[in-house]
């Protein structure tokens, strides 16, 4: 658990060991990780006399809870899915874990996974005196959410690099492609990212519509910027899926083209050997009265005829551009 106090003047936030009361100016931020958050509802009850809804408490402790907004007359609850790295995630880049934000008067309580890097990034920024620190819980939530969305970009870039490598192999005519399972797994991850962005956008829209306090113009602009940021990532994920589909179509078109070339070559060979087979079949018949069989140079004449027919057919197909 970490406790920070933000002043209304935008000074550097103060790290506290304990919190006896909320500040009259600015606000306090109490940050819990889920392994230590069992009794977190006692804090707003002790500091503000506010009882948190039991369902909201259950939602905050659910690491897989989808992005969601709900609120009461005393607080707003925002659950936001972020991307967090895992040690053994393998090829799975889209690993979402929920972070819950509870916005009270002069108090912000967050419940999140220990692996959520965005919170650590924000707390490290507190050491940079050049930053403009938020003076309201909404301002801090916006900073954290914006940092979480920045994580989406890094994962999207890595996903794009991997897909680009696979699609290059996919349309390479020199080597057959066999990694279909890996390709479809990456396509599913891009689709998962698009769905995740859609849920986050719906959550932001619901928060803006049903916010407990009247939203200011500055807050509306920040939410719009954050929404556009997520929308761009969603469009990027959608374009990745389209690129995969186009690459697959190109792959099968290339395969079909190679198949057509092979079939055309086989057809030409069949067309050439058909008359040759006909001639040899005629002279392979065992009739007694076949004058040509008695010719002294009949064998060489038939060979010449076969070569002449084959050469004429090759010349004909070549001039017609068949091969």
pLDDT tens column, 65-101: 999 999 899 999 999 988 765 544 445 667 778 899 9
SS3 128: coil
Cα separation, 310 vs 316, whole angstroms: 10
Q: Are residues 226 and 274 in the same domain?
A: no
Q: Are residues 150 and 92 in the same domain?
A: yes
Q: Are residues 241 and 268 in the same domain?
A: no
Structurally, how many domains does the chain consist of? Answer: 2
Q: Are residues 243 and 269 in the same domain?
A: no
Q: In CATH, what number is assigned to the domain containing residue 299?
A: 1.20.58
Residue range of the domain that includes 296:
261-319
Comparing CA positions, the residue from 118, 116, 103, 112 lying closest to residue 27 is 103
Q: Are residues 110 and 162 in the same domain?
A: yes
Q: How confident is the model at residue 107 (pLDDT cuts 50, 70, 90)?
A: very high
Both tokens assigned to 208: 């803006």
CB atoms within 10 A of CB 61: 15
Q: In CATH, what number is assigned to the domain containing residue 161?
A: 3.30.460.20
Looking at 200, 220, 253, the residue that finishes a domain is 253
Cα separation, 173 vs 48, whole angstroms: 68
End-to-end CA distance of the chain: 75
Q: How confident is the model at residue 239 (pLDDT cuts 50, 70, 90)?
A: confident
Percent pLDDT > 90 in the chain is 22
Cα separation, 198 vs 205, whole angstroms: 11
Work out the average pLDDT over 49-56: 92
Higher confidence at residue 175 or residue 217? Answer: 217
Q: What is the C-alpha R_g of the chain?
A: 36
- Report whether pLDDT(17) > 90: no
Lowest mean pLDDT among 64-73, 87-96, 115-124, 240-249: 87-96
Looking at 209, 236, 253, the residue that finishes a domain is 253
- Report whether pLDDT(300) > 90: no
Higher confidence at residue 134 or residue 107? Answer: 107
The pTM of this model reads: 0.75
Q: Are residues 233 and 306 in the same domain?
A: no
Both tokens assigned to 82: 């972020």
Work out the average pLDDT over 158-173: 75
Cα separation, 167 vs 211, whole angstroms: 45
Q: How confident is the model at residue 51 (pLDDT cuts 50, 70, 90)?
A: very high
* Residue in the structure block whose two tokens are 């890595």: 158
Comparing CA positions, the residue from 121, 57, 55, 58 lying closest to residue 84 is 121
Work out the average pLDDT over 173-182: 70
Q: Are residues 245 and 265 in the same domain?
A: no
Q: What is the DSSP string of 104-124?
A: ETTEEEEEE-TT-HHHHHHHH
pLDDT in tens, 303-321: 898 899 889 988 888 888 7
Cα separation, 59 vs 35, whole angstroms: 15
Question: Would you say 160 and 240 are in contact if contact means Cβ atoms under 8 Å apart?
Answer: yes
Cα separation, 118 vs 125, whole angstroms: 11
């Amino acid at each position: 658990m970490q406790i920070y106090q933000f002043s209304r003047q935008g000074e550097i936030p103060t790290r506290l060991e304990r919190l006896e009361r909320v500040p009259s100016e600015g606000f306090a931020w109490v940050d819990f990780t889920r392994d230590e958050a069992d009794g977190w509802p006692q804090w707003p009850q002790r500091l503000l006399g506010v009882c948190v809804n039991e369902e909201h408490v259950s939602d905050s402790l659910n690491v897989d809870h989808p992005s969601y907004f709900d609120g009461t007359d005393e607080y707003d609850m925002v659950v936001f899915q972020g991307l967090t790295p895992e040690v053994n995630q393998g090829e799975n880049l889209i690993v979402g874990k929920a972070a819950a934000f509870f916005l009270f008067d002069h108090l912000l309580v967050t419940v999140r996974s220990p692996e959520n890097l965005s919170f650590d990034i924000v707390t490290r920024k507190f050491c940079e005196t050049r930053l403009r620190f938020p003076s309201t819980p909404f301002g801090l939530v916006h900073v954290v959410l914006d940092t979480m969305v920045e994580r989406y970009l890094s994962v999207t870039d890595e996903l794009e690099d991997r897909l680009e490598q696979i699609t290059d192999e996919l349309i390479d005519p020199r080597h057959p492609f066999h990694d279909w399972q890996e390709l479809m797994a990456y396509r599913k991850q891009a689709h998962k990212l698009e769905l995740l962005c859609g849920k986050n956008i719906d959550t932001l829209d619901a928060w803006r519509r049903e916010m407990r306090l009247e939203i200011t113009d500055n807050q509306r602009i920040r939410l719009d910027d954050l929404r556009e940021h997520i929308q761009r990532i969603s469009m990027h994920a959608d374009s990745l899926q389209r690129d995969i589909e186009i690459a697959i179509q190109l792959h099968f078109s290339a395969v079909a083209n190679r198949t057509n070339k092979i079939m055309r070559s086989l057809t030409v060979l069949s067309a050439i050997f058909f008359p040759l087979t006909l001639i040899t079949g005629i002279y392979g018949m065992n009739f007694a009265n076949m004058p040509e069989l008695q010719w002294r140079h009949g064998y060489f004449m038939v060979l010449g005829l076969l070569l002449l027919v084959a050469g004429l057919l090759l010349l004909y197909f070549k001039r017609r551009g068949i091969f």
